[in-house]
Structure 1
Amino acid sequence: MISGLQPGTLIPTERSLAEEHRTSRTTVRQAISELVAEGKLGRIQGHGTFVAPPKMTHVRQLTSFSDDAKSQGLRPDSRVVALDVIPAGKDAADSLGLRPGDPVTRLERIRLIEGEPLAHEVAFLPGPLPELGGHLARTGSLYAVLAGVYGRQVAEVEDAVETALAGPVEVRLLGVEMGAPLMVVHRMARDGSGSPVEWTRSTFRGDRFRFVSRVKKGS
């Protein structure tokens, strides 16, 4: 039924669907929950259930979140939650090739697609980056700012992907339900000399995001 409907279209109520298909509301509710988990339906408390927009696809390559979104005709945006220069903890120091306590820039953002939260991202960058917030506000792309303003060109990335379930933080920041499926991507970015440029943990909504890896023989 929903395959021919436009994104945002409200579907009938559980009661009417149960009556139409001569089944129980419990069965209908379970089917709807499965479609929500798959990203085919969306649900807003007090507003009903609707046909979800297409998932954003990330193809494993040397691109940023903004580049991926724009290539699919989607409008990316970001909301900065925190931007600080802090002493590097052990994990950040090990990942970035620094000593514990060395200064790192911590950038925490909510990544948006068409105005809707898609991911919670925390990035660690070596050293202080003066006026980073202002530059990001003008361009939106961290990689573009790193290359154009600070001379840090990303030449290589490594993504490690795992799954998780939404907890209170994701419920609050991403607007998902408790226990909703998430995709967690740990990214290490390096410059042409192999020096670390970025170490990031991004938590994506599983119902709105798809990760694709393409490998050619001999590569």
Structure 2
Amino acid sequence: MRSGVRVPKYWTVKQALLDQVAAGRPGTALPTERELAERFATSRTTVRQAITELVTEGRLHRTQGSGTYIAEPQRVEVQQLTSFTEDLGPDRVADRILDVRTEPADADTAGALGVTAGETLHVVERVRLVDGAPLAVETARLAGDLPGLAAELAERGSLYATLRDAYGREVAQVRDSVQSRLADPAEAELLDVETGHPLLLVRRLSHTADGRPVEWTRSVYRGDRFTFVASTHRVR
């Protein structure tokens, strides 16, 4: 992602509050706006803007006359199998590759992919374009030996087709978790929207038919251009 993006003060406060939310328990009260303004050496208006966004995203909730509290996690999970490129067709879909690299797996990613923390992963960062306009920013992490991944992906376009045709890894099952969020400055620049624009954050874990993890992906989609549809059936 391009550097040099000026981060607003309220965004710094928001990220610090997000860390507090992640480390805290649902129902825990936040300090008052005045106390937070003193802590971050900023105005109460700035603090209020950060808190309002977190309330909108469902991370915090306000109780009139009582205060602001860490909200219960809100999660929507569906199970479906789709290939972005195959769904829309190669004539409509294009990718702008930001980076293809390797990095050591952190503990959370290692757990998701069934590897050891510190094991080398392949990382693909790209902007997904539909009809020439940016729709999503995607970061996919892949375990295992994938020689020549950048060239193979450039040739085929579809990550799933690349995994299947070049490496013999057929994705048979996916698990998606979906939540709303607001665009940070870097995401806004890549998606051609304003900071704070509504986004959908989709985390996907893919498996082969025999249950081997294939892909752990984080994608943020423009909320005004993307609809997430899930089909369900009653289990009897």
TM-score by length of 1: 0.69
Paired with 1:212 and 1:176, the residues of 2 have a C-alpha distance of: 23
CA–CA distance in structure 2, aligned partners of residues 105 and 166 of structure 1:
25
Equivalent residues of 1:60, 1:211 under 8 A apart: no
Measured after TM superposition, the shift of residue 60 of structure 1 is: 6.2
Offset at 1:199? 0.3
Task: Note the residue ranges of structure 1 that are not aligned, 5 or more in a row.
Answer: 1-58
Output the amino acid matched with 1:64: S
| Matched residue, 1:53 | none
Q: Calculate the TM-score normalised by the size of structure 2.
A: 0.64
1:194 equivalent in alignment to 2:223: no
**Higher RCO, 1 vs 2 (CA within 8 Å, ≥6 residues apart):** 1
Give, as a single letter, the amino acid of the residue that structure 1 aligns with 2:198: P
Work out which of the residue numbers 167, 171, 182 in structure 2 matches 1:150: 167
Match of 1:121 among 138, 149, 169: 138
Match in the other structure for 1:67: 86
Alpha-carbon distance, 1:170 to partner: 1.1
Supply the distance in 1 between the matched residues of 2:173 and 2:212 (Cα, whole angstroms).
Answer: 10
- Residues of 2 paired with 1:217 and 1:90: CA distance? 36
In structure 2, the residue matched to 1:211 is 228
Alignment-mate amino acid for residue 126 of structure 1: A
Distance 2:133 2:144 in 1: 31
1:184 match: 201
Q: Percent identity?
A: 47
Q: Residues of 1 paired with 2:136 and 2:80: CA distance?
A: 18
Q: 1:215, CA displacement in angstroms? A: 1.2
Runs of 4+ displaced beyond 2 Å: 216-219
Shift in CA distance, 74/211, structure 1 to aligned 2, threshold 3 Å: farther
Compared with structure 1, are the counterparts of its residues 60 and 76 closer, same or farther at alpha carbon in structure 2 (3 Å cutoff)?
farther
What is the match of residue 110 of structure 2?
A: 93
Q: Is the alpha carbon distance of 1:184 and 1:74 closer, same or farther for their aligned partners in structure 2, counting shifts above 3 Å? A: farther
Structure 1 residue 128: Cα displacement: 3.7
Q: Aligned residue for 2:187? A: 170
RMSD between superposed Cα atoms in Å: 1.7
Unmatched 5+ stretches in structure 2:
1-77
The number of aligned residues is: 159
- Supply the AA of the counterpart residue of 1:124: R
* 1:7-18 correspondence runs (5 A): none
Give the direction of change, closer, same or farther, for the CA distance of 1:166–1:158 in structure 2 (3 Å limit): same
Residue 138 (1) aligns with residue 155 (2): yes
Match of 1:20 in 2: none
**Cα deviation, residue 62, structure 1:** 1.3
